[in-house]
């Protein structure tokens, strides 16, 4: 009986060892199979370019920096009082900024100006927004755009009136406190909201740099091209849009409030002000605009790469057969010939008008360019 039990135990031991050997063999085969499959799959997946990985890393680092940064006293804005600066330097990132960073992306350029962004987002929710128009302009012009949304109520004039234009503006933001002051101080910026004056600005032909609206409409008519919708880039107070409105053409104006109420002036004319900087992608769909005018804000002071992106964004929103009007583009003559003319030429537009004139009393060879260019109907 003892021999039988020993034989049975031996058989069970052999069976268990054999089973384990078979299991190990099967497991190693399966592992090799999955490894080979994984390798083949990985080889078939396209690799992400290094420059995109670097950009993603920069954006992630910027967001982490924004949400953890504590403003330093030495880098705070000069407009802050010592007590305010010290308390802000000692505080952690504003709660509203932390909340928003989890709800929506923040422009990566904001990481260069964390103190300004923290000051902008350091407010009391569900109350009046701070008087920080100047701060808003600083952030937008530095590429921190679009700005994070805030849960506060915008400040508005107490007694607005259509008969008193001054009553529609919060003048505490600006050095001038009336439109009369602006008209006297800046006579050529269009703060005289009289429609007749704004019409005359684009109706006279005094030099080859001028392109009267009547001539523009005639050019479009001769080419069987309809002008219905336009954008005035850097259009200031909306004088061009007002003149086109009188001819049943809708023109939106991009503008910034540089120490003056440009956006309010545009709005008081019953027009649409777009508060966007020149480096911002225009909030307009592709190929829906008939005319784009670039006023004097589009000039040589814009970095060359930024200007090239601007021109291609204007090409994006223009329909085939639409017009791009550079109105008195200012630069040095040598730069116009070697930099800007070739850059404009990359668009492949037809030159309807190309007029260059020397700047009066020029000491460095500056010139003005007025160009009307027509986008090809098809490419």
Q: 105 pLDDT band (50/70/90 cuts)?
A: confident
Assign 3-class secondary structure to 205-270. CCCCCCCCHHHHHHHHHHCCCCCCEEEEECCCCCHHHHHHHCCCCEEEEECCCCCCCHHHHHHHCC
- pLDDT above 70 covers what percent of the chain? 74
Q: Which of 230, 264, 265, 223 is nearest to 247 (CA)?
A: 230
The stretch 155-166 carries a mean pLDDT of 85
CA atoms in the 13 A half-sphere facing the CB of 85: 11
The stretch 87-102 carries a mean pLDDT of 68
Instruction: Give yes or no for residue 191 having a pLDDT over 70.
Output: yes
Instruction: Give yes or no for residue 19 having a pLDDT over 80.
Output: no
The stretch 100-113 carries a mean pLDDT of 78
| Chain mean pLDDT for the chain | 81
Instruction: Give yes or no for residue 233 having a pLDDT over 90.
Output: yes
The stretch 275-296 carries a mean pLDDT of 92
Phi then psi dihedrals of residue 318, to 5 deg: -75, 140
- pLDDT above 90 covers what percent of the chain? 47
Q: 333 pLDDT band (50/70/90 cuts)?
A: very high
Q: Are 247 and 217 in contact (CB under 8 A)?
A: yes
Buried b (16+ CB within 10 A) or exposed e, 81-118: eeeebeebbeeebbebbeebbeeeebbbebbebbbbbb
Show the tokens assigned to 182.
């602006």
Least confident of 90-104, 289-303, 329-343: 90-104
Q: 242 pLDDT band (50/70/90 cuts)?
A: very high
- Strands 250-254 and 273-274, by their bridges, are parallel
Round the CA-based radius of gyration of the chain to a whole number and report it.
32
Show the tokens assigned to 76.
């705070």
Task: Work out the angle at residue 114's Cα, subtended by the Cα atoms of residues 170 and 141, and round it to the nearest 5 degrees.
Answer: 50
Cα-based distances in Å from 67 to 93, 110, 379? 6, 11, 46
Instruction: Give yes or no for residue 223 having a pLDDT over 70.
Output: yes
Q: Which of 259, 256, 244 is nearest to 293 (CA)?
A: 244
Higher pLDDT, 161 or 43: 161
Q: Are 169 and 261 in contact (CB under 8 A)?
A: yes
Higher pLDDT, 70 or 349: 349
Instruction: Give yes or no for residue 82 having a pLDDT over 50.
Output: no
């Amino acid at each position: 009986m003892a021999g039988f039990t020993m034989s049975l135990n031996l058989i069970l031991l052999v069976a268990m060892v054999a089973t384990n050997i078979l299991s190990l063999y099967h497991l190693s085969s399966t592992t090799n199979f999955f490894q080979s499959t994984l390798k083949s799959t990985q080889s078939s997946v396209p690799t992400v370019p290094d420059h995109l990985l670097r950009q993603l890393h920069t954006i992630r680092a910027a967001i982490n920096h924004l949400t953890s940064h504590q403003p330093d006293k030495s880098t705070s804005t000069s407009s802050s009082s010592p007590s305010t600066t010290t308390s802000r330097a000692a505080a952690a990132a504003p709660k509203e900024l932390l909340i928003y960073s989890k709800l929506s992306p923040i422009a990566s350029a904001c990481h260069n100006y964390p103190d300004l962004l923290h000051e902008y987002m350091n407010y009391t929710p569900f109350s009046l927004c701070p008087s920080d128009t100047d701060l808003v302009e600083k952030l937008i012009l530095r590429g921190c755009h679009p700005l994070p949304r805030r849960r506060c109520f915008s400040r508005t004039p107490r007694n607005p009136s259509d008969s008193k234009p001054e009553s529609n503006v919060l003048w505490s933001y600006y050095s001038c406190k009336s439109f009369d002051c602006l008209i006297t101080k800046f006579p050529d910026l269009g703060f005289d909201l009289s429609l007749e004056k704004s019409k005359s600005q684009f109706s006279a032909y005094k030099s080859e740099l001028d392109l009267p609206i009547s001539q523009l409409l005639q050019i479009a008519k001769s080419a069987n091209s309809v002008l219905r919708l336009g954008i005035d880039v850097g259009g200031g107070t909306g004088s061009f849009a007002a003149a086109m409105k009188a001819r049943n053409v809708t023109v939106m104006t991009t503008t910034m409030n540089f120490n003056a109420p440009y956006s309010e002036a545009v709005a008081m004319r019953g027009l649409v002000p777009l508060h966007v900087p020149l480096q911002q992608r225009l909030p307009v769909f592709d190929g829906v605009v008939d005319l784009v005018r670039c006023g004097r804000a589009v000039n040589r002071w814009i970095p060359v790469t930024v200007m090239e992106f601007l021109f291609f964004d204007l090409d994006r929103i223009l329909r085939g057969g639409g017009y791009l009007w550079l109105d008195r583009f200012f630069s040095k003559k040598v730069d116009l010939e070697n930099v800007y003319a070739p850059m404009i030429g990359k668009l492949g537009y037809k030159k309807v008008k190309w007029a260059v004139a020397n700047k009066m009393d020029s000491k460095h060879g500056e010139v003005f360019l007025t160009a009307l260019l027509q986008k090809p109907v098809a490419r």
